[in-house]
Amino acid sequence: MNHQPPDVAVIGTGYVGLTTAVCLAHLGRNVVAVDIDEDKIGRLRLGEVPILEQGLDELLTEGLQNGRLRFSTSYQHAAEAPTVVLCLPTPSQSDGGLDLSYLEQAATKLSQILQTGAVVAIKSTVPIGTNQKLSKWLAREDVQVVSNPEFLREGTALSDFLYPDRIVIGAQQASAATQIADLYVGIDGPIQLTDPTSAEVIKYASNTFLAAKLSFVNELSRLCDHLGGNIEAVTEGLGSDHRIGSAFLTPGPGWGGSCFPKDTLGLAHVARMAGLKLPVVEAARTSNEIHQQYVIAEIGRIVQRPLEQARVGVWGATFKAGTDDTRDSPALEIMAELNRLGASVTVYDPAARPAEIPAETAGDPYTVCMGADLLVVLTEWPEFATVDLAKVAGTMREPLLYDTRYVIDNAKAAKAGIALVQPGRMPSTS
C-alpha cells in the first residue's frame, strides 16, 4: 500500500463494489477497495477481473496504473478514509427478509477504528430502516450514516454509474450529504437529496416498478398469443405515451437476476411485517411465475412430440445478455423444468459457467441443434442473431425455433426453412 490516505474506502468487491471503486478512481478519487476474500484481492491487484462486466477491466487497469485504486483485506486501511461506502451482500432469507450479518460485522469492525467525523454510506440494497440499524451497530455519535442506493444494471454497470439518471442521497445532516455528493464530482447527473428512509424506499420502488412493468408486458404478449395482435406494435403504441415510456417493454421468458426476484420479495416482506398489503407487488411476482409456466407450456405445445421423447436445444442460460450471472435466471428454471418433464436438454451460452447449468452444455450454438426437435432462445445474446440458420436447420430433426427474446430475424428464419415462433407475434407469412 502506498501511504497517501484514501479519499474513500469501498467495502465489498462484488459487482456493485468493484464498479463503484473503479468508477470513483476514474473520477479522480483516491480509492481503497476492501474485501475479506484474500484470493480475490490478490487477483484484483494483478488486474484480473472476476466477473464479466463491460469496460471493467480497462478501468481496473487504469486505476491500478495511476495508483488511484488500491486493494486491501484490512479494515484498518478502510478506516483511513473519511468516507466509507458499504457494498456488502445482503442475501435473502427463506421468509423474504434479508440477512444483514455482513453489514453488522462490518459495522462492528469499523466502529472501533473510523476517523472522527467519518461518513458511512450504504450502497447495498437493504430493508427499509437499515440506516438506523447501522447507526446503532456503529455506536458512534460522531459518525454519520447515509443511504446512497445503487441503480446499476449488470452488463451496463459502468455506464449506469458514470451517466446516471439520478444519484439519490438520503442523509439526516447536510454536511454528510455533501460529503457523499462530493464523491460524484465529475458526473453530469441530477442529485436528489432526501432523508435516509425515502432513499431506501426509492431503491425498492424502482426495482419493483420495473418488475411490475415487465410482468405486465409479458401478460400482454400472452394476450396477443391468444387473441392475435402483434406485441411489438402494442408496445410501440403503449411506450409512445410519455407517461409510460418505451424502456423495459420487451417481453421475455420472465424476469430474473439477483435483484428483481430478491427485491420484490424483500418489499413484500417489509410490508407484511408492517401489517400492510401491497397487492401490486405480490401480483408482479405471481404474474412472473405464471409467465414462466406459460413459456414451458408453450415449449410443450410447439414441439412436435411428447416432451419425454423430445430433444430440446437451448441458446442462453444467463438471466440476460452481457453478464455471466445465472443467479435466478429464468433460463435455468425453464431448463430444469424441461428436464423434470423428461425432455433431453442441451444448452449453449457464451458466458455462463457450465457448472451452474442444470443441463448438458455445448461449446457452440450448432452442437445443441443436432437432432433437436426444437431450438429455444432464452437469453438475448447478440451473437445468436448472426448464427448460420441454414446450418442450424440442416442439423435439426424438426426445424422449429421458439425465440422468447426476439433476437432471430423472421425473414432469415423463413429463408432457412425454419418455423419461427416468438411470443405475442403472429406467425410470419413471408
Q: Just list the catalytic residues.
A: 259
**Least gap, CB of 92 to ligand UGA (angstroms):** 13
Q: 295-330 in b/e burial notation, b at 16+ Cβ within 10 A?
A: bbebbeebbeeebeebbbbbbbbbbbbbbbbbbbbb
CA dihedral of 113, 196, 200, 238, whole degrees rounded to 10: -140
Measured at the alpha carbon of residue 117, what is the angle toward residues 115 and 121, in degrees to the nearest 5?
90
Please give the residue ranges that form the binding site for ligand UGA (CB under 6 A): 125, 150-154, 207, 210, 214, 248-250, 252, 255-257, 259-260, 319-320
Q: How far apart are CA 396 and CA 383, in angstroms?
A: 19
Q: Between 56 and 392, whose beta carbon lies closer to ligand UGA?
A: 56
Q: Between 174 and 244, whose beta carbon lies closer to ligand UGA?
A: 244
**Least gap, CB of 232 to ligand UGA (angstroms):** 12
Which residues on neighbouring strands pair with residue 344, listed in sequence order? 311
**Least gap, CB of 125 to ligand UGA (angstroms):** 5
Q: Between 255 and 381, whose beta carbon lies closer to ligand UGA?
A: 255
* 192 three-class SS: strand
| 251 phi/psi in degrees, rounded to 5 | -65, 165
**Least gap, CB of 217 to ligand UGA (angstroms):** 7
**Least gap, CB of 399 to ligand UGA (angstroms):** 26
Q: How far apart are CA 199 and CA 62, in angstroms?
A: 32
**Least gap, CB of 282 to ligand UGA (angstroms):** 18
Q: How far apart are CA 78 and CA 349, in angstroms?
A: 38
Q: Between 352 and 418, whose beta carbon lies closer to ligand UGA?
A: 352
Query: How far, in Å, are 92, 295, 414 from residue 396 at the CA level?
Result: 41, 21, 15
> How many CB atoms are located within 10 Å of the residue 143 CB?
21
**Least gap, CB of 373 to ligand UGA (angstroms):** 26
Q: Between 295 and 400, whose beta carbon lies closer to ligand UGA?
A: 295
DSSP state for residue 349 in the 8-state scheme: -
The residue to which cell 465489498 is assigned: 12
**Least gap, CB of 428 to ligand UGA (angstroms):** 22
Q: Between 290 and 419, whose beta carbon lies closer to ligand UGA?
A: 290
- Taking alpha carbons only, the member of 133, 75, 138, 53 closest to residue 99 is 133
Cβ-contact 425, 224 below 8 angstroms: yes
DSSP state for residue 91 in the 8-state scheme: P
Q: Between 75 and 260, whose beta carbon lies closer to ligand UGA?
A: 260
Q: Between 322 and 399, whose beta carbon lies closer to ligand UGA?
A: 322
Q: 51-80 in b/e burial notation, b at 16+ Cβ within 10 A?
A: bbbebbeebbeebbeeebbbbbeebebbbb
- Taking alpha carbons only, the member of 84, 19, 83, 86 closest to residue 51 is 19
> How many CB atoms are located within 10 Å of the residue 423 CB?
23
Q: How far apart are CA 4 and CA 379, in angstroms?
A: 45
